[in-house]
Amino acid sequence: MTRLDTSLWPYLLAPSAQGDDSLCAVAAHGHRITFADRRELLDGASGIWNTNLGYGNAAIAEAIARAARDASFLSSFRYENSYARQAAEDLVQACGAEHYSRVLFSSSGGAANDVAMKLVRHYHALAGDPRRNLIVGLRGSFHGLTFGGFALTGEDLGQRVYGVDQRLIRHVTPNDVTELRALVSRSGAQIAAVVVEPVLGSGAVPLTEDYIAELARLRKESGYLLVADEVATGFGRTGLFFASQAWAEQPDVLITSKGLTNGTCPASAIVVSRAVVDAFAAEDAVLAHAETQGGSSIPCAAISATIAEMHRLDAVVAAQSLAPRLTAAMDALVDRHPQVVGTRGAGCFRSLQIVNQAGEPLTPAEVAGLVAAIRRCGAIAHPGVGGIQLVPALTYSQAELDELMACVEEGLASLVATGSAGQGGAQ
């Protein structure tokens, strides 16, 4: 039995890897994280895809400090508070006030998906159609690990082990229009909503324009609601403030988290269209959801400050400038390295598809070994499906991008040289 030298039980880290100082972060500034073993690494994953503006933003930190001093806890639980009102207004403006009108706050992306599933079912009940209770997601999608979000997640991550109820969930293959049409033809009268990530978080797979158009057409034909889970793709990550702003028709509900507070506070938001809000207002209906910290003063102060900093730093334009440079660097790596066989993703949310020396996609153990090798070379990459994901902050410099890609290439070379591509390691 492994003896642990820490009281902390961290997420998704095997007991054998816990207590390792090389995985214990102690500080972060700019785009670099310092660990307890005194190493400083360049972060190529933006935390968990959430520090879009880098670490230590002074304006966001000061807004949080002011709220902590002046309004340490003001809730949105049977009350309102001025911080939540302002954050909601800021979000509606960022998403598009011509389409959206109200915001529900939550505390994580998974919890926000739970709220959205309640919301769409309640909407149809108000419309006199309670049989519409099926939620459709995509295979390979990730919507969190809370019980509702875990049910909707399209990867097999042990849902049966934990007794997650998926009886009212259906999954279809992303970008397969024929399969989507068949499900709607068969079960359309029961579908409450289709929930999609504009770019699937696992593997960074973008939805095609044809697939998005078909989702909108079938929505009109069938009557389901369309939910865009922009937990990962929001806040400039794919080249617009929100990826769904490029869609010809907007979703009924938009979910955002991660970049919402630049990683400083646990927070998420469910941004709701005018049509859906009007259905609740017409019946004076109360949605049965509340959280102690959802919409409280400190995270809402962080949300408003983050949106203001996105504008001040012109972060969306910065992302649009960084993305083609990232694409060029990744394409160059494909040309130079025989084991790098392709790229996926959009904007600054990308993945490298990598094969082992047998020419097969990397196994999870091999991915872990590559991530560990890149760490040894000085940078952090995120493990992906059959490769790694690169999610740099939107505020990266050209020198930092060059450094990140050099670390990735050096990490690949070291595995090939040692023949250890099949060995796992600390992620």
Q: What's the number of domains the chain is made of? A: 2
Kindly tell me if the per-residue pLDDT of 425 is higher than 80: no
Note the pLDDT of residue 349: 98
Note the pLDDT of residue 6: 85
pLDDT in tens, 5-57: 789 999 999 999 999 999 999 999 999 999 999 999 999 999 999 999 999 99
277 and 371 share a domain? no
**In the predicted model, what is the mean pLDDT of residues 307-327?**
98
47 and 189 share a domain? no
Note the pLDDT of residue 202: 87
Amino acid at the residue 88: A
Give the chain's count of helices (H) and strands (E).
12, 17
Q: What is the pTM of this model?
A: 0.95
Domain boundary among 283, 312, 341: 312
375 and 246 share a domain? no
Kindly tell me if the per-residue pLDDT of 346 is higher than 70: yes
Note the pLDDT of residue 109: 97
User: Which domain range does residue 392 map to?
Assistant: 15-53+314-418
Buried b / exposed e across 195-226, counting CB within 10 Å, b at 16+?
A: bbbbbbbbbbbbbeeebbebbbebbeebebbb
In percent, how much of the chain has pLDDT > 70?
Answer: 97
353 and 393 share a domain? yes
Note the pLDDT of residue 3: 53
Note the pLDDT of residue 419: 64
Note the pLDDT of residue 417: 73
Q: Are 346 and 319 contacting, i.e. CB atoms less than 8 angstroms apart?
A: no
- Which residue, chain included where needed, has tokens 């002074």? 58
88 and 48 share a domain? no
Confidence band (pLDDT; 50, 70, 90) for 203? confident
Confidence band (pLDDT; 50, 70, 90) for 397? very high
Rounded CA separation 385/59 (Å): 36
Kindly tell me if the per-residue pLDDT of 424 is higher than 50: no
Report if residue 4 sits inside a domain: no
Report if residue 367 sits inside a domain: yes
Confidence band (pLDDT; 50, 70, 90) for 420? low
Poorest-pLDDT segment among 192-201, 242-251, 344-353, 356-365: 356-365
Kindly tell me if the per-residue pLDDT of 257 is higher than 70: yes
Q: Are 283 and 277 contacting, i.e. CB atoms less than 8 angstroms apart?
A: no
pLDDT in tens, 350-391: 999 999 989 999 999 999 999 999 999 999 999 999 999 999
Q: Are 35 and 25 contacting, i.e. CB atoms less than 8 angstroms apart?
A: yes
204 and 266 share a domain? yes
CATH of the domain at 374: 3.90.1150.10
pLDDT in tens, 99-138: 999 999 999 999 999 999 999 999 999 999 999 999 999 9
46 and 73 share a domain? no
**In the predicted model, what is the mean pLDDT of residues 250-271?**
98
Report if residue 7 sits inside a domain: no
Kindly tell me if the per-residue pLDDT of 426 is higher than 70: no
Domain boundary among 312, 333, 368: 312
274 and 396 share a domain? no
**In the predicted model, what is the mean pLDDT of residues 73-86?**
98
Domain boundary among 312, 341, 366: 312
* 389, β-bridge pairs: 351, 382
Q: Are 63 and 52 contacting, i.e. CB atoms less than 8 angstroms apart?
A: no
* 323, β-bridge pairs: none
CA 259 to chain centre: 8
**In the predicted model, what is the mean pLDDT of residues 195-217?**
96
Confidence band (pLDDT; 50, 70, 90) for 422? very low
Check residues 285 and 417 and name the one with the higher pLDDT.
Answer: 285
333 and 386 share a domain? yes
Report if residue 409 sits inside a domain: yes
Check residues 6 and 240 and name the one with the higher pLDDT.
Answer: 240
199 and 348 share a domain? no
Amino acid at the residue 216: A
241 and 320 share a domain? no
pLDDT in tens, 136-170: 999 999 999 999 999 999 999 999 999 999 999 99
* 193, β-bridge pairs: 135, 225
45 and 75 share a domain? no
Rounded CA separation 403/409 (Å): 10
Lookup: tokens for 155 = 């990867």
Note the pLDDT of residue 236: 98
**In the predicted model, what is the mean pLDDT of residues 397-403?**
98
Rounded CA separation 330/354 (Å): 12
* Ordered alpha helix ranges (H), 288-363: 297-312, 315-336
Note the pLDDT of residue 414: 87
- Which residue, chain included where needed, has tokens 């760490």? 375
Backbone angles phi, psi at 56, to 5 degrees: 75, 30
Note the pLDDT of residue 416: 77
CATH of the domain at 194: 3.40.640.10
Considering the chain, what is the average pLDDT of its residues? 95
Report if residue 270 sits inside a domain: yes
Tell which residue, 391, 367, 382, 364, has the closest CA to residue 157. Answer: 364
Lookup: tokens for 71 = 């309004």
Phi-psi region of 345 (alpha: psi -120 to 50; beta: other; left: phi over 0): left
* 106, β-bridge pairs: 268
